[in-house]
Structures are given as C-alpha cells and as structure tokens.
Copies of this chain bind each other. A is one copy, B any other.
Amino acid sequence: MTQAAKRASYQAIKTDVLQRIRDNVWPPGTLLPGEIELAEEFQCARATVNRAMRELAEEGVIDRKRKSGTRVKIAPTRQAKFTIPLIRLEIENAGKNYRYALVHRQKQAAPRWLCGRLALPSTAQVLHLQCIHYADESPFQYEARWINLSAVPKAESESFEKIGPNEWLINHVPFTEAELTFSAKSATKEIAAMMSLPEGASLLTAERTTWLSDAPVTYAQLYFHQSYKMTTRI
C-alpha cells in the first residue's frame, strides 16, 4: 500500500492517484474506491478528495458517475489546450516588429455561402475586410473577414486603417461562443502574391465563427505563413 502523506493536499492526491494508474495498480477500467474511503486513506476531508478526483476527471484520466462510482478511463483521451493570443502580441512576444496593413474594405450584401454559414437573411449587409499582418516586414498572416453589420453596426464607422479587425472586435464586441476550425489549404494565386509565397504553398488555416448569444457576429479566415507551427505541451 502506498503510505499516504500525513497531510495530503489535493495536488498530492492527484499525483498519487495518477501514479497508481500509471503503475497499473489501477489498470484501465478499474473501479476506484469511493471518496469516503479515499479520504480515510489520505487522512483528509472528502471535499479534498473530491477536488482531486474532479480535476482528474476534467483532465480526462478518469470517468465519474453518480452511484456507479469512479473508473479509470479505457481510452485516456488527453486533450490539447492551445491559447489563441492576439496576433499582434504573438508577433511582439517573439521579439519581432508588428505591422498591419489593410488591403481591402467594402460594405456589401452578404454572399450566399456566408448567409448559409452564419444563418443570415439574404438581405444582410456585411463589411468585408482583407488585411495582412507582418512580422519584421515579412507577411505572417493574411486575414479575410466578414462582419455582420446588423450585429455590429458601429463597425461601419471604423476605418480599420490603423487597427486590425480582430483586435478591434475583441476590444469592442464581446462574444459568447466561437467555433474554431483548423485545416491545411493551398495558397491561391491571389493569396500567394500577397504573402510572397509560391502559388500552391501549404498554409495552416484557421476559420473562426463568432456569436454573441445566438446572433452571428463575424466569420474570418486566417491564413498563416508556411513556417507557422502551433505547439502545445500536454
């Protein structure tokens, strides 16, 4: 038996339990002892065990169900967390100089594909923007964005000459929900030219749709420079 620490913090319990799972003391599928039992073993309150186990469940190590109890996950689906910083901060934190350039700005009727994606009426007006974010004068990200003007009317009076739409929106419009999709796309001739890349280059692409309590706010396509990598530790 692993002799429990005299004063077990919830952290200590977490590491101890994790250790037992790793050491196959509790192989996948095992039904763990209940909280009361564990609290006795670790000489602590049930609430402390509860916190430890709750966090392990959040991290995807165990499954918990009322009445049934707690089991070690069969397929431990660890999850990767990516922090999505402002592009400007990401460039500046890399010690590079950030520059922003607006390429195109036009108020227009929402194209049909956008109406479908955002559930907009076919009469909706949107502000379409294209811009480039530079790191040390080399193109880092190309951004194509559509802003729903009925949700964000004040966007119409913003020129977006000095501040990028992403940063402007974050500062002026809160959101309740967002969908983020990553994929790889080939650079079209147009995008390749703007980013000083050969046509057909592979670009990591993020598509982002944002809502403010059911009202669609904006849709954006973000094309990262070829060299861009998104990294995380889990």
Contact = CB atoms under 8 A, between A and B. Distances in A.
Interface stretch (A63-71, A83-91, A96-104, A127-135): A83-91
**Most interface-central of A180, A181, A226, A228 (chain B CB within 10 A):** A180
B180 A232 contact: yes
A116 interface: no
Contacts of A174: 21-22
* Copies in the assembly, this chain: 2
Q: Which size class do A's interface residues fall under?
A: 35 or more
Interface string A73-114: 001111111111110010000000000000000000000000
Given A182-B204, A186-B202, A202-B185, A84 B75 contact: no
B75 A80 contact: no
Contacts of A224: 184
A202 B184 contact: yes
A229 to B, nearest CB: 4
B80 A82 contact: yes
Interface string A193-211: 0000000111111000000
A139 interface: no
A202 B230 CA distance: 16
Interface string A205-234: 100000000000000000010101111111
A170 interface: yes
A37 interface: no
A230 B230 CA distance: 13
23 contacts: A22-B174, A75-B85, A75-B89, A75-B170, A77-B84, A78-B84, A78-B178, A80-B83, A80-B180, A82-B82, A180-B232, A180-B234, A182-B182, A183-B228, A183-B230, A184-B203, A184-B204, A184-B224, A185-B202, A186-B200, A186-B201, A200-B200, A204-B204
